[in-house]
Amino acid sequence: MNHELISQICFAEIYVVPSHQTARSLFTRLPHGMAYADTLIECIATGYLIAVVESICIKEMQQHIDPDIEVVVGRSIRIEHRAPIPPGAAIRVSGWVEQVGRRSTTFCIRAFDDHELVCEGQVTLVAADRESIESRIATKINGLHDLRAGA
């Protein structure tokens, strides 16, 4: 991880909300949400908003790691979803690096639509050892296979 270059990251991106990323659309596909999904509004689901913001931060950090030995993963996300964002709306997501640790980076982010501030918060990412993460995942997958074979 290149600490010096990461500390200088500052970005501004535009994201247009697709119709399939609404709360109603998302909750229709979730077992616990099917019963009430049709009562929700047609605006971006908070989960999708978080994914959009996280993906932009990951893209920025990805440019300053060695992808053969490191992988960028999320550590924490604190976001306030402040206003509804309908499908088709363009949001301007801007961010900058607030803090760089030994393996982690914390971004401050803000997003506006044409009317108001719709989201703000912090995203902390980690440049983790790829081999270690892949090994941990493999152990868990093998454990799932063992559980299913024993059932």
- Please state the three-class secondary structure of 39-97 as a single string: HCCCCECHHHHHHHHHHHHHHHHHCCCCCCCEEEEEEEEEEEECCCCCCCCEEEEEEEE
Question: What average pLDDT does this structure show over 29-49?
Answer: 93
Q: How far is CA 72 from the centre of its chain?
A: 11
Question: What average pLDDT does this structure show over 100-125?
Answer: 97
Instruction: Indicate the pLDDT class of residue 151, thresholds 50, 70 and 90.
Output: low
Q: What's the pLDDT score for residue 93?
A: 98
pLDDT for 145 beyond 80: no
pLDDT for 126 beyond 70: yes
| Neighbouring-strand partners of residue 86 | none
Q: What's the pLDDT score for residue 147?
A: 66
Cα dihedral angle (37, 84, 73, 60), rounded to 10 degrees?
140
Question: What average pLDDT does this structure show over 134-146?
Answer: 86
Q: Cβ distance 55 to 11 under 8 Å?
A: no
66-87, pLDDT tens digit by residue?
A: 999 999 999 999 999 999 999 9
Q: What's the pLDDT score for residue 148?
A: 74
Question: What average pLDDT does this structure show over 99-124?
Answer: 97
Instruction: Indicate the pLDDT class of residue 56, thresholds 50, 70 and 90.
Output: very high
